[in-house]
């Protein structure tokens, strides 16, 4: 059983994640995004961006590993192997771009157990190293309630 006392708490902020220009290109190509502002720094600058910009869902590449590290901690009591992703939302306060250094803070918003499943709602606040907000993501994760629920 996941630890219900975590609800309403936030984890310590992650170490800064450096957004690589080539990581953005790799991600863009993996989703078939061919826009020049995602692939070519000169085109991005010509469009008024500091560097190549990330497609809107790029934040999962650095928020999900932070979430996974949290949920795989045996003390949390979460069956990661049987987890499914229920929903996902992303609010972008500005586009993420190459060269960004981003800090993620995971907030545990809600935990419910219903019909043999645990349902966990997390919010990730993504900010630059000066603390200016860059993105807010929210997701629902569901896993089987193994032992008597």
Partner 1 sequence: MTAVGPEVGTELPPLSLRVTRADLVRYAGASGDFNPIHWSDRVATSVGLPGVIAHGMLTMALAGRLVTDWAGDPGAMRSYGVRFTRPVVVPDDDEGALVELSGKVTAVDDAEGGGRVAKVAITATFEGKTVLGRAVAEVAVAPEQPTAG
Binding site for partner 1 (CB under 8 A): 23, 26-33, 35, 37-38, 47, 49, 53-57, 60-61, 64-65, 82, 84-92, 95, 138
- Whose Cβ is closer to partner 1: residue 3's or residue 60's? 60
What would the two tokens of residue 143 be?
């896993």
State the minimum distance, in angstroms, from the CB of residue 6 to partner 1. Answer: 23
Nearer to partner 1, 5 or 116 (CB): 116
Q: How far is the CB of 25 from partner 1 (least distance, A)?
A: 9
Pairing of strands 117-128, 17-18: unpaired
Show the CA angle centred on residue 107, arms to residues 118 and 122, nearest 5°.
35
Region of 116 (left: φ > 0; alpha: ψ -120 to 50; beta: rest) is: left
Q: Decide whether 3 or 40 has the Cβ nearer to partner 1.
A: 40
Interatomic CA distance for residues 27 and 35, integer angstroms: 12
Measured distance CA(99)–CA(129) in Å, rounded: 12
* Shortest separation between residue 13's beta carbon and partner 1, angstroms: 19
Question: How far apart are CB 5 and partner 1 at their closest, in Å?
Answer: 28
């Amino acid at each position: 059983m996941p630890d219900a006392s975590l609800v309403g708490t936030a984890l310590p902020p992650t170490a800064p994640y450096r957004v690589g220009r080539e990581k953005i290109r790799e991600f863009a190509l993996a989703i078939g995004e061919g826009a020049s502002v995602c692939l070519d720094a000169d085109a991005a600058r010509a469009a008024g961006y500091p560097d190549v910009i990330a497609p809107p869902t790029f934040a999962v590449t650095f928020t999900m590993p932070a979430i996974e590290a949290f949920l795989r901690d045996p003390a949390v009591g979460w069956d990661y192997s049987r987890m499914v992703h229920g929903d996902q939302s992303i609010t972008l306060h500005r586009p993420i771009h190459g060269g960004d250094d981003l800090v993620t803070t995971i907030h545990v918003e809600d935990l419910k157990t219903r019909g043999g499943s645990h349902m966990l709602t997390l919010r990730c606040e993504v900010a630059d190293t000066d603390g200016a907000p860059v993105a807010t993501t929210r997701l629902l994760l569901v896993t089987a309630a193994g032992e008597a629920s």
